[in-house]
Amino acid sequence: MGRPTSGIAWTAAIVGGMRYDLNHLHPYIWEVVIPGKEKSDKHPAVPERKIRVNVSFGLHCFARDPLPSERVSDDCWYQDNRERRVFCQIRWELSKQLPGIIATLAERRCMHTGREEFVTLEVPYQGRTLEYAVFFTVTKAGRADRADLNLFVNSAHERYDPLKYTKPIKFHFILLNRLQGKPIKPPPR
C-alpha cells in the first residue's frame, strides 16, 4: 500500500473491552497500470497508462444498521461525521480482505448497479463460503487529492439475496471512462 492520503484514517473500535484495529482500512494511493496495445491494421498503438487512484473506505465496511428491536450497548456504536452504526465483528473480519480485493479488481467481475459499480465474490469465512459484495464508486479526483481518481468503497458485506446485475464491466474501462469524464451506461434490466 502507498502512503496515506485524503480520506478517513479510522481509529480502532473498542467493543466489550476488545480492540478491533482498522489500519487496513486507512486511505492510500494506488498506482494502476493499464497495459498498452500494439498497433494493428485497424487500430493505432496505445501506450501504457499509469493512473494514480486514491482508495478510501466507508463506515459500512465494518458497521451495520441495528437489527429490529436490537438493544445495542453504548460501546458497540461507531460513528463518522455523517452517521452512527453498530460495529459488526463479521464485517470487520471480512474487511481485512478488502485491500487484496481492491488490488485485483482488474481480474474480477465488476458490475454496474445503476448508481455505482460493485464486485461480488465468494470468500471463505469460518468454514463456509459466502457471497461478499463490495460496492464502490470511482470519481475524478481534485488537485488536493494527489491522484487522478478516487475509489471509495461505500460498503462491503455478505449478500443474502441474489444480485440482479449480471453484465460485467472491465475495471480498466471504468477507470478510463471516469478519467475522461465519459458516462458508463448501466446495462438494461
Contact in structure between 141 and 127 (CB atoms under 8 Å): no
Sheet of strand 117-125: strand arrangement: 28-34, 49-60, 149-158, 128-140, 117-125, 110-112, 168-169
Its pTM surpasses 0.85: yes
The tens-digit pLDDT sequence of the chain (189 residues) is 333 356 788 999 999 999 999 999 999 999 999 988 888 888 777 788 999 999 999 999 999 999 998 898 889 999 888 889 999 999 999 999 999 999 999 998 888 887 777 787 878 778 888 888 899 999 999 877 789 999 999 999 988 877 777 678 899 999 999 999 998 887 766
Contact in structure between 14 and 75 (CB atoms under 8 Å):
yes
The grid coordinates listed for 53 are 487512484
The DSSP string of 132-148 is: EEEEEEEEEPPGGGTSS
